[in-house]
Amino acid sequence: MNIRIGTRKSPLAQIQATWVAAQIRERFPEIGVELVGITTSGDRPSPYPLPQGEGPGGLKALFTKEIEEALLANHIDLAVHSLKDMATELPKGLVLSAVPLREDPRDVWISKTHIPFNEVKEGAKIGTGAVRRHAQLRHLRPDFQVLPLRGNVDTRLQRLREDDWDGIILALAGLKRLGRQSAVTEILSNDIMLPAVGQGALAIETRERRDDLSPILAALNHQATHQAVLCERALLRTLGGSCQTPIAAYAEVHGTTITLSALVASPAGAPYFRNEASDSAENAETLGRALAKELLIAGADKILA
């Protein structure tokens, strides 16, 4: 058997897919593994604003559409994504088949002058590309000037060096995978900055009924991580949110119990709705849907509308 792994061509995506390939080779040395780099719409420069929503023309599809088309056309056998890039509703015929052990999902503060986050001056200029982070920063410190920041990790670090900014916020997982964790000033607790749905996790996507891949997918899958992200994605699906909506969620499994923390906030930082709930880990998706409904009843529906 030879397995073709589809992935974006970005440095981080290549590192993630190479890691998955190494795991397969280690456990199944008799199987050949080939990486297939695919350029997605999100990787191409564009003068137009980023689209909103999760559907076929939405933001998340920019980073997955061409890869999923290759999967459906049988040009590749499995795809490796950053799970937070995947829409909650997958194209017909495709499934989320495995989720490896999650990397640290937390966000980090990177200061130009190595100032701890709780000592940042009033009116500080902080760069971030996520509305989720923007809303939480504005909720915590309405005095902050939160500025848009896009591009890969190196591009964002370069912006911090060159611009008149006090700091930026990035995901720890990407920095660790790229070997850039030395840039971190401080890891932010989930009380300060709740992560994006699926942050730090990888997704292995395949076509349906690929029974021949079952042993490989089972070896790649980490059950507790899989349950946690199913819980988070069920919440996001029920809320009907997208990358352009300030929604954050993090689920964690301890033994047979799963605990989910989630929030919905206005981009301005208020109103702000946050809640937490627990259930049996086998009820992960039920918990996600239930907590989403509680947030909607509390008033999050007005923000989402």
Element (H, E) at 35: strand 32-38
Residue 85 designated active-site: yes
**Whether the Cβ atoms of residue 98 and residue 204 lie closer than 8 Å to each other:** yes
H or E element that contains 135:
helix 131-140
Q: DSSP string of 150-200?
A: -S-HHHHHHHHHHSS-SEEEEEHHHHHHHT-GGG-SEEPPTTT-PPPTTTT
Residues 6 or more apart in contact with residue 176 via CB below 8 angstroms: 103, 104
Largest CA distance in the chain: 59
What whole-number distance in Å separates Cα of residue 221 and Cα of residue 204? 9
CA distance linking residue 65 with residue 73, whole number of Å: 12
Helix 284-295 vs helix 223-239: angle between axes, to the nearest 10 degrees?
30
Tell me the two tokens of residue 80.
Answer: 């490796």
Report how far apart, in Å, the C-alpha atoms of 142 and of each of 135, 138, 151, 157, 191 are.
10, 5, 25, 24, 17
Active-site entry in 85, 107, 166, 279: 85
CA distances from 253 to 125, 139, 201 (A): 36, 28, 14
Residues 6+ apart with CB under 8 A from 136: 192, 193, 194, 246, 248, 263, 265, 269
Q: Which residues are catalytic?
A: 85
